[in-house]
Structure 1
């Protein structure tokens, strides 16, 4: 997982160690998996989080939670989910996923995914 992008021009930073490792890489991988919409990745249209199909709108809460947990559990380096909460705020169109996972190195990693959908 690439550690840092140059925020001004979008290029990869070339100073220091360019790649994340360990629990930082696992956390970044989970975050990126959640941000990828189902069908968005042109090399594999079956990859992605089913936001429109299973989470946003009038989807049942249990289906939305199951979908998000599955995306987290199938991220590289994740062994188990030790805590999970999922909240939505229709008025502000925000979704918050607060999860703690255990990685392959038996380290606990907290993931806070708080995004607005317009």
Structure 2
């Protein structure tokens, strides 16, 4: 289960857990924020920011790594639209994706963060 967040804060009243497409969206964001080899129980888990995305990596290889990370998230069955932009100097990543989940519901993902 994924805790429900509103404006970055954990919800402490009402619906404590996210469900459906909101849980899937939050799970994808969590997956993107996790660096490769950061999780001590599974060193193969994580987004390959330093290995395949940041630095002198070609944009298509970086985009493919992000797409693969999104598509392998629990609850995601497809991507219908994908936009990716990276600013190598500031390490700012912007990802917009229109996704389909296991309940055949379409939802949008917007990930705009500075990877440090």
Could you tell me the TM-score, scaled by structure 1's length? 0.88
The equivalent of 1:102 in structure 2 is: 100
Q: Secondary structure at the match of 2:17?
A: coil
2:109 match: 111
Query: Quick one: distance in 2 between partners of 1:16 and 1:113?
Result: 26
Task: Output the CA distance in 2 between the equivalents of 1:38 and 1:100.
Answer: 24
Q: Closer, same or farther in 2 for the Cα pair 1:40/1:92, shift >3 Å? A: same
How far does the alpha carbon of each residue in 1:63-85 deviate from its partner, in whole angstroms, 9 at most, with x for none?
A: 11111001000111101000001
Shift of 1:93: 2.8
- Using the size of structure 2 for normalisation, the TM-score is 0.89
Q: Assess if the C-alpha contact under 8 Å between 2:100 and 2:107 holds in 1.
A: yes
Query: Is 2:30 the partner of 1:23?
Result: no
Distance 2:64 2:33 in 1: 16
Offset at residue 18 of structure 1 (A) = 1.5
Query: In the alignment, what sits opposite 2:77?
Result: 79
Structure 1: 5+ residue stretches without partners: none
| Greater strand content | 2
Which residue matches 1:60?
Answer: 58
Partner residue in 1 for 2:30: 32
Q: What is the distance in 2 between the residues matched to 1:108 and 1:25?
A: 13
Q: C-alpha separation between the residues in 1 aligned to 2:26 and 2:93?
A: 18
| Pairing 1:49–2:47 present | yes
RMSD, matched Cα = 1.7
Post-superposition shift, 1:13? 4.7
